Amino acid sequence: EVQLVESGGGLVQAGGSLTLSCKTSGFTFDDYTIGWYRQVPGKEREGISCMIRNDGSTYYADSVKGRFTISRDNAKNTGYLQLHSLRPEDTAVYYCTASSHWGSSCLWDYFDITYWGNGTLVTVSS
């Protein structure tokens, strides 16, 4: 059974930091591009970061560039997203994804996402 389990969300004040984790199982983690999307109820989901399988290239949405950092630990089958300098507009449910994307399309081509996690809520208070 494929599982992607996010953790690390919570309530934080503006300017604060969080680290999200995505523990995976049931598929060969190394073979997949890992990404993070977020969604606010009533709004379109937004691809915010991804790390390409094998070559480690990273992509970020302009809205988070310079503030968020994606990483992965293939030995632990786990992906991470460090969130710094958080803003109230970062409040959303954050989803971990796994896909076969090779380039920046991992940020917007969510139709080709292979696996999704159930999400973790990040709330940033002003």
Res. 118: pLDDT tops 90: yes
Backbone dihedral angles phi then psi of residue 111, each to the nearest 5 degrees: -65, -25
Structure confidence at residue 113 (pLDDT): 94
Residues 6+ apart with CB under 8 A from 38: 45, 46, 48, 90, 92, 93, 94, 95, 122
What mean pLDDT comes out for the span 82-99? 97
Question: How much is the CA Rg of the chain, to the nearest whole Å?
Answer: 13
Rounded distance, CA 51 to CA 70, Å? Answer: 7
Rounded distance, CA 111 to CA 126, Å? Answer: 34
- pLDDT tens, residue by residue, 7-41: 999 999 999 999 999 999 999 999 999 999 999 98
Quick one: which of 18, 14, 100 has its CA closest to 52? 100
Res. 55: pLDDT tops 90: no
